[in-house]
Structure 1
Amino acid sequence: MSVSCVKNLSFQDNSWYHIVDKLLAYADIEINGLRPFDIHVNNPDLFKRVLQYGSLGLGESYMDGWWKCEQLDIFFQRVLRAGLKNKIPQNFKDILRVIVARVTNFQSRKRAWIVGKEHYDIGNHLFSLMLDPFMQYSCGYWHHATNLEQAQKNKLEMICQKLQLRPGISLLDVGCRWVGLAHYAAKYHGAKVHGITISAEQQKFAQKHCESQDINILLQDYRDLNLQFDRIVSVGMFEHAGQKNYHTYFDVIARNLKPDGLFLLQTIGTQKTDMNFDPWIDKYIFPNGRLPSVQHIAKASERYFVMEDWHNFGADYDLTLMAWHERFVRSWPSLQNNYSDRFYRMFVYYLHSCAGAFRSRRIQLWQVLFSPHAVEGTLCIAR
């Protein structure tokens, strides 16, 4: 369909189209243009829906098949680089969400299990096809890597080296997912691993695949931990902790870490310290998730730890997400009997929108290494 055809379509209010067209021009994106990052509109009500409901309207309309884009990742990279979100008048509902987030603890003990049930429990088979053999659902480290498996192995080895793991050391994995890190640390570094997860499916997977190793995985909220470990690691879990619980989180880590221990935190992070969040991601992918800022982490941790190292390799998440997308699409024929076409579009949108966000460098990926009392001498940090 050409641009002229879109202009001639019967709209409820033709001004919606012109507003969106003008906004997209800031990102050099055309409606029904010829380039792979241009959008193609199947329903003219899209423009009103996006302007009324923002991110939620854009994502839901894609899931409903109202529009498509050949290279959705580049579309989002351009939209975010151009700062279009700041050029759209804030919807009252978006403002209300921020206000509610300021006064509500969406990551309370009762609500902490929601993301496990609604996202991580959607199917171990799906994740086993999409992820690498280590089942790493977090950013890989692509330095000297040419494929997803090597990038994830690099990440695992780097974590183990940063934590200075050796045989017999006790390691707590907070939010252990499908125990890829626990398995790696036990097999290649001789660690004794205790992991916790809020996903019943992940615990089942762990119990099945770690029977022969010194690994214990429990279905447990991190706030109930009261043990002592030589090392603690947390990969991709802090995003689910919530800003109202940051001090509690670091208090729990400090309580469970031995005085001469090390703690490594890997988390996605945002550049700005605020309460904003993406309503589409919140509704469909990671319920109640919030991204921390540098200030959030520094302020919440300073009473408990010395920050030994801060490592940003957020650009690598773009490569990781695109590799997941390629594997997800390739595996879809064996998955489609268990999921709807709308689910397929939701997952494609999720992976591409996040890849575009990391490529635009609007969000980051950090590994932060802490010690309770500072390590004596020079600490050699693996890269």
Structure 2
Amino acid sequence: MSSSFIEEVSFEENHWYRITREMLDKAGIKINGGQPWDIQIKNPDFFKRVMQEGSLGLGESYMDGWWECERLDMFFHRALLAKLDQQLPHHLKDTLRVAAARLTNLQSRKRAWLVGKEHYDLGNDLFSLMLDPFMQYSCGWWKTADTLASAQEAKLKLICDKLQLAPGMTLLDIGCGWGGLAQFAAQRYGVRVTGVTISAEQQKLAIERCADLDVTILLEDYRDLNEQFDRIVSVGMFEHVGPKNYATYFNVVERNLKPDGLFLLHCIGANKTSDHVDPWIDKYIFPNGCLPSVRHIAEAHEPYFVMEDWHNFGADYDRTLMAWNERFLTAWPQLAEKYGERFKRMFTYYLNACAGAFRARDLQLWQVVFSHGVADGMRVPH
């Protein structure tokens, strides 16, 4: 009698196994199956852990080596298309986290710096190896691109063209990352850039990158900004603002934008309005983050701006994330000693889970252009 048969029999006797199998069957995912999206179970306690702890149990059990999957991106694509995430139980901690998000400001001035320390300060070595030459940690624009580098350069050009940048203008970059957009805009469009970040590691590299350019990089909370700019851009930062601060955020942008200025918001978006945050992502990747919905953005901007254009290219994030995953794995031999195997499992899980979510159109990527009201309207390039 084969060991795999014995394992299957023991699984069959497990109440938690039967529930898990029935759920996965809805997505065409098999336990110990032969397809790349099937899961291979290494620890029989996996079933109880996932059924009791939901998303957090699924992610942590993978980090612990309790299960494997050849193509995690395919697994999550199928699982999310079948809406299995809505069928997982909500752990008490998840319920408390949602309640806390509603009752308290998780992105207060004091707490806002946490994501910088926990994620963006992981190490410039990691991000330099994983990202493109402009170190863009946001969705690329793959309309005519065939490489990560060309997709990110096309995204930067798209942003600058939508903002109608011209020599001599001033540009504020809220959440400037490692300075790639600031460098691009200063070099190619002749603008003077002020970038703001809450990550010390990002500021350090951004200053080095833009050393010979008319660029200033500040380590500062966006709420402290008080200067007029011709143009404002914010890429991949609004996800960290939080619903309790959306009105403040748009008020800050309005305060810092000249009357004839333009503002471009580039952010990941959720299909439904909610304070819910995936507990695994919140704990291990982006603490205190929250994805805005169309309603969130619509209501928050209404007192301040005219919405000139809304562009969704969320499907391009799938390809971007898979490119990051490939580069991360290629670079892993240079990173392994510093970061360790558990970090590798965590980071690949994160990249592939997100890729599957965008592929299933469970998440979106929006670029929204705002103004105080352009007299003759705008013709925004797409």
- Please report the TM-score for the alignment, with normalisation by the length of structure 2: 0.98
**TM-fit CA distance, 1:3:** 6.1
Unaligned stretches of 5+ residues in structure 1 = none
Instruction: Tell me which amino acid in the other structure corresponds to 2:340.
Output: S
Provide, for residues 205-224 of structure 1, a one-character-per-residue CA deviation record: whole Å limited to 9, x for no partner: 01112110000000000000
8 Å CA contact retained: 1:2, 1:32: no
**TM-fit CA distance, 1:313:** 0.1
Distance 1:192-1:22 versus aligned 2 partners, 3 A rule: same
Secondary structure, in 3 states, of the residue corresponding to 1:261?
strand
Instruction: Tell me which amino acid in the other structure corresponds to 2:377.
Output: T
Match of 2:375 in 1: 376
Instruction: Tell me which amino acid in the other structure corresponds to 1:319.
Output: R
**TM-fit CA distance, 1:99:** 1.3
**Alpha-carbon separation, structure 2, partners of 1:188 and 1:2:** 63
Provide, for residues 116-135 of structure 1, a one-character-per-residue CA deviation record: whole Å limited to 9, x for no partner: 00000000011000000010
Match of 1:323 in 2: 323
Instruction: Tell me which amino acid in the other structure corresponds to 1:239.
Output: E
**TM-fit CA distance, 1:282:** 0.2
| 1:82-97 correspondence runs (5 A) | 82-97=82-97
8 Å CA contact retained: 2:141, 2:155: yes
Instruction: Tell me which amino acid in the other structure corresponds to 1:7.
Output: E
**Superposition RMSD in Å:** 1.2
Match of 1:271 in 2: 271
| 1:178-327 correspondence runs (5 A) | 178-327=178-327
| 1:50-199 correspondence runs (5 A) | 50-199=50-199
**Alpha-carbon separation, structure 2, partners of 1:344 and 1:218:** 31
**Alpha-carbon separation, structure 1, partners of 2:38 and 2:3:** 12
**TM-fit CA distance, 1:276:** 1.1
**TM-fit CA distance, 1:10:** 7.1
Instruction: Tell me which amino acid in the other structure corresponds to 2:5.
Output: S
Matched, 1:35 2:35: yes
Instruction: Tell me which amino acid in the other structure corresponds to 1:176.
Output: C
Match of 1:9 in 2: 10
Secondary structure, in 3 states, of the residue corresponding to 2:369?
strand
Moved more, 92-101 or 1-10: 1-10
Distance 1:303-1:3 versus aligned 2 partners, 3 A rule: farther
**Alpha-carbon separation, structure 2, partners of 1:107 and 1:29:** 37
8 Å CA contact retained: 2:74, 2:356: yes
Match of 2:21 in 1: 21
**Alpha-carbon separation, structure 2, partners of 1:272 and 1:213:** 41
**Alpha-carbon separation, structure 2, partners of 1:353 and 1:222:** 30
8 Å CA contact retained: 2:46, 2:61: yes
| 1:349-364 correspondence runs (5 A) | 349-364=349-364
8 Å CA contact retained: 1:124, 1:201: yes
8 Å CA contact retained: 2:53, 2:89: no
**TM-fit CA distance, 1:297:** 0.1
Instruction: Tell me which amino acid in the other structure corresponds to 1:6.
Output: E
**TM-fit CA distance, 1:100:** 1.5
**Alpha-carbon separation, structure 2, partners of 1:127 and 1:86:** 32
Instruction: Tell me which amino acid in the other structure corresponds to 2:102.
Output: R
Distance 1:353-1:2 versus aligned 2 partners, 3 A rule: farther
**TM-fit CA distance, 1:180:** 0.5
Secondary structure, in 3 states, of the residue corresponding to 1:234?
strand
- Please report the TM-score for the alignment, with normalisation by the length of structure 1: 0.98
**Alpha-carbon separation, structure 1, partners of 2:248 and 2:5:** 57
**Alpha-carbon separation, structure 1, partners of 2:218 and 2:68:** 42
Secondary structure, in 3 states, of the residue corresponding to 2:349?
helix
Secondary structure, in 3 states, of the residue corresponding to 2:58?
helix
8 Å CA contact retained: 1:16, 1:47: yes
Distance 1:2-1:174 versus aligned 2 partners, 3 A rule: farther
8 Å CA contact retained: 2:11, 2:17: no
Secondary structure, in 3 states, of the residue corresponding to 2:337?
coil
Secondary structure, in 3 states, of the residue corresponding to 2:331?
helix
**TM-fit CA distance, 1:91:** 2.7
**Alpha-carbon separation, structure 2, partners of 1:362 and 1:264:** 23
**Alpha-carbon separation, structure 2, partners of 1:231 and 1:88:** 44
Secondary structure, in 3 states, of the residue corresponding to 1:6?
helix
Moved more, 51-60 or 80-89: 80-89
Provide, for residues 78-115 of structure 1, a one-character-per-residue CA deviation record: whole Å limited to 9, x for no partner: 00000112223333332222112110111000000000
Distance 1:2-1:80 versus aligned 2 partners, 3 A rule: farther
**TM-fit CA distance, 1:4:** 3.2
8 Å CA contact retained: 1:3, 1:33: no
Unaligned stretches of 5+ residues in structure 2 = none
8 Å CA contact retained: 1:3, 1:31: no
